[in-house]
Chains A and B, each alone.
Chain A
């Protein structure tokens, strides 16, 4: 088990290194740099600045310096924000994104498993048709539409009741989190519903379900003891990447609901070619994704003994 974990972690490190390297070079191939903004800088000033930041050095040297810094945990200082270290930005804003993301994943997973199991039980009957229609909506409608709709219904609800049931935007309490998390999780929930449905249908025809029936178990017992646990396996598999995509992909929802998450910095930095912030957030998110996938793979063994490692 420990050897396997160690092996996976080393593989993960190599993946992160690959992400860092690719981002580094792709970023430098984009025309312009952090210093080429609207302000007219003279040739002399520009050269001085480049020398100051080490941007005049050959690319491989910059790369080497960067890797050395990353290895010592230093992600550098932002080019565009005064005196802010990338580490600080992440430390301050990632917990916000993470809280939102985790709740969204919980919504998505519970909802996906529940709706998926329901549709399979009621295959081709009314509940199945209705839920599957909603699923198509959930998969195809982008999150900013849901975000806006979510806000609109909150405003209407608060207006109608005369009291503020849930805040429409902002940050600070659990109530602030609920609707954004639901909106953020909707797409994944829809996706997981479909996955769970097909996986449930497959399991329904499995030989061991027939055996369970032959043992005299009733439908509920068969469902809970034999079908659910086996049907859930594919859902668990995609949960790792889902956690990462939800946590990292939340910037639109964060923007609409005025939530101070990390997403905003991620997008801004690309627009401003803020090298250090681009690198910092990308490598951080990359590492996070890799770690989540490994974590889920390790958890998988708890449910499926066949992939448990000795």
Chain B
């Protein structure tokens, strides 16, 4: 396989709070290949957003702190840097869209100006040209009557339309990577599908890579090439989308799957929630973070952090003692 576009290694992020230090991300590694979609999956508070936002310096520091790790874009370290090779990491190399489009745009600024802003600031484009480009970008994001809309303000848009605007904003400087942090969580289902297909089309057109943060396995199935499953600040399983769905190796991944509604079965289906709640990250467990909730926990899991086991196929790895040769396989 070719060298990945973005390589994250052993990233750890902590937050100083009044109650102590929260170890939100505890040594995360993953790789993103050119033109591919990587989904980062996990429940609320598992560190997926913090992990990805810390890559581009969007985690407020203080109270946040990157304690270890590296992130290389085309071999160049980007952690803690504003520019790489004359390009701004944020905006020019990596674009971003967020969960709540209704509050993510400046309420007192015209839509067109907000899209034109990075063009004007980073690429020295003249105001007029930047505005024209903003209208093109709106059209690209399938916002109707782009010219008229570009002169309007955020409060005159619906949530779905604003997310399109956010996409236009993020794509303005043609970044190599788009990070989408729960881009469809605040939208209703039909709009959700439209936004996802828009993102996929734009990604293919521009050969852009996409990091998709989500807790919705349905979205993952639709979009992802590669999947990173996170739990309690660590990666528990990585692999291709097929591996994750059809050959999941970690009990947590399996648990997530059985908690997801299935479409095929028309009879009322019983969802199986994962009992319990994630561990306290003020004082993370020494062993496997999933130990207390795991239906297949073994003695070794409590005290010893499992290493990554290769599950045979390319790049399918799982941090679970069940894959150790010494584990007793009762199922």
Contact = CB atoms under 8 A, between A and B. Distances in A.
A306 B107 contact: yes
Interface in B55-108: 56, 58, 88-92, 95-96, 98, 100, 103-108
Given A215-B117, A215-B118, A210 B104 contact: yes
Given A208-B103, A210-B98, A221-B121, A306 B153 contact: yes
Contact of A211 (B88, B121, B155, B169): B169
A91 interface: no
B121 A214 contact: no
A37 interface: no
B166 interface: yes
Interface string B307-325: 0000000000000000000
B109 interface: yes
B122 interface: yes
Of A216, A221, A226, A304, most B-chain CB atoms within 10 Å: A216
Given A225-B117, A303-B108, A214 B58 contact: yes
Interface in B270-309: none
Classify chain B's interface size.
Answer: 20 to 34
A206 B107 CA distance: 11
Contacts of B155: 305-306
A229 interface: yes
A211 B107 contact: no
B153 A208 contact: no
B121 A207 contact: no
B108 A210 contact: no
Interface string B155-171: 10000000000100110
A23 interface: no
Contacts of A211: 96, 98, 104-106, 166, 169
B98 A207 contact: yes
Contacts of A229: 108-109
Interface string A240-280: 00000000000000000000000000000000000000000
Contacts of B166: 211
Given A221-B121, A305-B155, A207 B104 contact: yes
Interface string A208-244: 1011111111000100011001100100000000000
Contact of B58 (A208, A213, A221, A305): A213
Contacts of B104: 207-208, 210-211
A221 B56 CA distance: 18
Contacts of A207: 98, 100, 103-104
A226 B117 CA distance: 11
Given A207-B98, A306-B155, A212 B106 contact: yes
A298 to B, nearest CB: 17
A217 B98 contact: no
Interface in A176-221: 206-208, 210-217, 221
A51 B91 CA distance: 82
Given A230-B106, A303-B108, A305-B155, A215 B98 contact: no
B169 A216 contact: no
A214 B108 contact: no
Contacts of A305: 107-108, 153, 155
Of A206, A211, A217, A230, most B-chain CB atoms within 10 Å: A211
Contact of A216 (B88, B105, B107): B88
Given A230-B108, A305-B108, A306-B153, A217 B169 contact: no
A216 B121 contact: yes
Nearest to B83: A216
A226 B109 CA distance: 8
A214 B90 contact: yes
5 contacts: A211-B105, A211-B166, A214-B96, A229-B108, A304-B108
Given A208-B104, A208-B107, A229-B108, 18 more contacts: A207-B98, A210-B98, A211-B98, A211-B105, A211-B166, A212-B106, A212-B117, A214-B90, A214-B91, A215-B118, A215-B121, A216-B88, A216-B92, A221-B121, A226-B109, A230-B106, A303-B108, A306-B155
> Closest 6 CB pairs between A and B?
A216-B91, A216-B88, A207-B103, A214-B96, A216-B90, A305-B153
